[in-house]
Amino acid sequence: MTHTHRQGSLVDVPGLDIGQHTLSQRLSGCSVVLASAGAVAAVDVRGAAPGTRETDLLDASNLVEKVHAIALCGGSAFGLDAASGVMRWLEERGIGFATPHGVVPIVPAAVLFDLPLVRPGDEAHARPDAQAGYAACAAASGAPPASGNVGAGAGATVGKLFGPERAMKGGIGHASVCVGPWVVAAMVACNAVGDVTDPGSGRLLAGARTEDGRQLLGSERAMLGGQRLQPPVPGTHTTIGVVGTNARLDKAQARRLAMSGHDGLARSIRPVHTPFDGDTLFAMATGTENSPADVLLLSVMAAEATALATVDAILSARGVQTLTGWLPAAHDLDGAQRQGMGTRTGA
């Protein structure tokens, strides 16, 4: 059995395409995973403040077995409107749950809170809507998707436990893991209240910064040391994502995959699943690989892919100029430690 690690993405899973749309009016957007032939799906919600749509039908006891797309969106609860555009795009192509009166596309969705991240000149009330969801579908393909400040990750931030002025830029990331005939991949939009670490090296990548803004603080260490927090507003954060596989799974097995994906979040985000986050992961199984599924192996792969995708989101993010000043990314902080973050003035 061969084991191959590579960055990859959900498009490595046969039957899945990715489309992303980033708003021109402000830092927000949506990312859509299309499964035109349908995919068995499930969801696992660990954060205390989720924003979701069409998740009840994913319960193993409920009727509908397959979904046709999953949408990850910025814009807080307003962004759930993007799923309507995804439905319209699918309906126009005859894709959906068959009824005597036409198809009904099944499109679960989850959102993250990116409303505070506004650039000079942005339209503060611009949010992903049905048109944005439709545009993401129109852009979908099997090509490797972009990471960082795009789609659902456009307005993502991380490291907010000591105030937004000490936060850093988050983003969206992708990864896949292959073992023998199996592929498990993940797409993660990281907007965590906590910090992000590389689980392989243990290195802190992005998060709350020291008061001078030049170095990473280490939120968990600071909390355990008794440093005073600036309590975030509940529900104004959240990491959301999709784990996909070519395995043939039922809904209960797919939920195990989503649950294991949260293990990957726990490896890379500290603290994670807080009262202030709405951490939500979906699983999609296209069933193109007919070998009997090894759910244990697939679960290990799901945790790994999710952790890798989270790291990709952070390392691919770039700093942005906002109304409140320069918001650095991990990429910028590395340079700042060498050259001085205070010199950065670009947009």
Number of domains in the chain: 1
Average pLDDT over residues 66-79: 97
pLDDT of residue 276: 87
List the one residue out of 206, 274, 268, 262 whose CA is nearest residue 234: 274
pLDDT of residue 334: 60
Residue at token pair 């008061």: 211
Count of Cβ atoms closer than 10 Å to residue 1 Cβ: 7
pLDDT of residue 2: 35
Average pLDDT over residues 73-95: 97
Taking only Cα atoms into account, the Rg of the chain, rounded to an integer number of angstroms, comes to 19
Residue 59 has pLDDT above 60, yes or no: yes
* Structural domain for 90, as ranges: 3-343
Confidence band for 229, pLDDT divided at 50, 70 and 90 = confident
Residue at token pair 């498009």: 11
Ranges of beta strands (E only) in 182-305 are: 182-191, 195-197, 204-206, 238-247, 269-270, 280-289
Cα 194 off chain centre by: 15
Count of Cβ atoms closer than 10 Å to residue 249 Cβ: 23
The whole-angstrom separation of Cα 279 and Cα 143 is 27
Model pTM? 0.93
- Tens digit of pLDDT for each residue in 306-316? 999 999 999 99
Confidence band for 236, pLDDT divided at 50, 70 and 90 = confident
List CB contacts of 279: < 8 A, sequence separation 6 or more.
45, 46, 47, 50, 192, 238, 239, 240, 262, 265, 272, 273
pLDDT of residue 228: 84
With residue 253 as reference, give the H or E element that holds it: helix 251-268
Q: Are 222 and 211 in contact (CB under 8 A)?
A: no
Mean pLDDT of the chain: 92
Confidence band for 278, pLDDT divided at 50, 70 and 90 = confident
**Domain containing 121 — which CATH number?**
3.60.70.12
The whole-angstrom separation of Cα 33 and Cα 214 is 37
Query: Mapping DSSP to helix (H, G, I), strand (E, B) and coil, where does residue 296 land?
Result: helix
Average pLDDT over residues 104-130: 95
pLDDT above 70 covers a percentage of the chain that reads 94
